[in-house]
Amino acid sequence: MKKVLAFDMGATSIRGIVGFLENGQFCTQEVMRMNHKIQGKNGRLVWDWDGIIGKIEETILENADVSAIGIDSWGVDFGLIDQEGNLLQAPFSYRDEKFIIGRKEADSRIEEATLFQNSGNQIMTINTVYQLLALKTLQPDVYEKADKLLMIPDLIYYFLTGEKIGEESIWSTTGLYDLTKKEVSATLFQILGLKKELVPKIVKAGEWRASTKNAKCERLRKLDIDVIPVCGHDTASALLMTEVARDRDALFLSCGTWSLIGTAVDQACTEREAYESNLTNELGYGSETYFFKNITGLYLFEKYKTQLEEKLGRKISFEEISSYVGQDFARKDKENGASGAENAGQENKEALIDMDAEVFSREDVQVKKEIDAFLKEKGVEAPGDDFSYFTLIYDSMVEKYKEVKEDIERILGRQFTKLQMIGGGAKSEVLAARIAQKLQLNVKAGPYESSALGNILLTLLYEKEVASVNEGREKICEASEVKYYRGNRI
């Protein structure tokens, strides 16, 4: 029996999970959980790199009996390595507001629509391409010293193995990757005046390996553990656990700090309509192409929960929130005359917030204050009590999902009948039921920890503990909790 270790890195927490098969049954054990925060440094927002890599190193040493390690993380952020192999500075966080400088520089060189056509990525100020252009403008000395650009999971891989590579799925989030040709876009590097030499060797998930024997972390060199480039982007890793690639009637919804809703497509969709709807294309395992939209997800919910706990001077359980929101939904539906299927879940859109509004994605957002200001500008009264803000956030999220579903159906000429919900948000029964009700789709919620499970799946596949992705997925799903919710018209 071989054990593998997955590091699943989210924007607010990092987990280490050991996975293995015992008597043919899939088993997991959480061996590390670390909350981490963005730090302010010299007027910029950066990740606590020393804290992150130190905790990962410690976890590996404590679990030295594993056969292989995989790493997945959020997208777009990166570190720069110089010719001597040193990390030049802590990676910036995508929530840093200086990246607008890079976006303006890009706009002076190329039209947004042309950038989208060449990359296929949703136009967002957080994108790697804008981050890199901002760095070149603000820190030209750092830019000139840089030899290689490593995305966050690839940067961890480098510290664990000494090898500088770029995994395909995480590079597909950069805005510098041609999703149609499935290769780094030399055209964009040239137009934007960026050094293509920064790009490391690009590899596909599961098709490379290196050992901790050559780690940058000295204490790991005494070990000889394979480190496998799994799908480095947590979304791509999570989608391995869904049926979307095989079922074109299905949408996926990865619901965490960010929400990503979309479907699998045969080739990247870079049409004008996709650009105008601010949709994106990214790659998954085996170069599978996914077409979806990034939306602010549970970030606002989590921020508000923390701020309300501080106000009340006590912890608030998710059960307490769910109970309140469920009753609030029922009350609102009754008031709206929505007891039947025809009007179920219908909302006055004016009473909702735009989850994509820039103010709601800020690191220092004061949620209640900003929601009140947003509604006041629309001439709408603020929620009646503190807990009603949770209802408003959930309903605003669901309304955005509905809009994106309709955009994707219009652009692709497809009609969806089902949705698979993964990520932490899938644990919320009231949210999953609301999605089924409002989007009129059958919803499958789970597996919940899909990013970590997809990571483990590819690592077990490399170790020949499972014969194929399908076999591994089946074994993992058999051991995972899944719930079903029916849309009213189905």
Backbone angles phi, psi at 119, to 5 degrees: -110, -35
Round the average pLDDT of the chain to a whole number and report it.
Answer: 95
pLDDT at 356: 87
Q: How confident is the model at residue 336 (pLDDT cuts 50, 70, 90)?
A: confident
Of all helices (H) and strands (E), which one includes residue 265? strand 258-265
Tokens for 219?
A: 């204490």
Does 345 have pLDDT greater than 90?
A: no
Q: Strand 442-445 vs strand 418-422: parallel, antiparallel, or unpaired?
A: parallel
User: Is the preceding omega at residue 140 within 30 degrees of 0, hence cis?
Assistant: no
pLDDT at 340: 44
Residue that the structure tokens 């109970």 belong to: 323
Does 349 have pLDDT greater than 90?
A: no
How many residues appear in the chain? 490
Considering only 220-229, 267-276, 341-350, which range has the smallest mean pLDDT?
341-350
By percentage, how much of the chain surpasses pLDDT 70? 97
What count of Cα atoms within 13 Å lies in the side-chain half-sphere of residue 264? 19
Whole-prediction pTM: 0.93
Determine the average pLDDT of the residues in 78-96.
98
For residues 355, 359, 363, 365, the Cα torsion angle rounded to the nearest 10 degrees is: -100
| Dihedral sign, Cα of residue 8, residue 400, residue 290, residue 253 | positive
The burial of 325, by beta-carbon neighbours within 10 Å (0-12 exposed, 13-18 middle, 19 or more buried), is given as: buried
pLDDT at 347: 57
Considering only 82-96, 148-162, 239-253, 408-422, which range has the smallest mean pLDDT?
239-253
| Dihedral sign, Cα of residue 82, residue 87, residue 88, residue 93 | positive
What count of Cα atoms within 13 Å lies in the side-chain half-sphere of residue 446? 14
Determine the average pLDDT of the residues in 329-342.
72
CATH topology of domain 242-446: Nucleotidyltransferase; domain 5 (3.30.420)
Does 490 have pLDDT greater than 50?
A: no
Q: 80 near 146, Cβ under 8 Å? A: yes
Alpha-carbon separation of residue 475 from 1, 452, 453, 459 (angstroms): 15, 15, 11, 14
Determine the average pLDDT of the residues in 316-341.
85
Tokens for 103?
A: 């976006």
CATH of 4-235, one of 3.40.140.10, 3.40.50.300, 3.40.50.12780, 3.30.420.40: 3.30.420.40
Of all helices (H) and strands (E), which one includes residue 236? helix 234-239
* Tens digits of residue pLDDT in 51-62: 999 999 999 999
Three-state DSSP class for residue 380 = coil
Angle among Cα 455, 460, 462 to the nearest 5 degrees reads 100
Determine the average pLDDT of the residues in 299-318.
97
Determine the average pLDDT of the residues in 144-169.
99
Query: Domain spans of the chain?
Result: 4-235, 242-446
The DSSP secondary structure of 140-206, one letter per residue, reads HHHHHHEEEEEEHHHHHHHHHHS--EEEHHHHTTSS-EETTTTEE-HHHHHHHT--GGG--EEE-TT
pLDDT at 338: 55
Does 116 have pLDDT greater than 70?
A: yes
Same fold, 4-235 and 242-446: yes
Does 206 have pLDDT greater than 70?
A: yes
Determine the average pLDDT of the residues in 176-204.
98
pLDDT at 339: 47
Angle separating helix axes 388-412 and 318-335, nearest 10 degrees: 70
Residue 29 bridge partners (DSSP)? 18
Burial 457-475 (b: 16+ CB within 10 A, else e): bbbbbbbebbeebeebbeb
Three-state DSSP class for residue 56 = helix
Q: 232 near 205, Cβ under 8 Å? A: yes
pLDDT at 384: 87
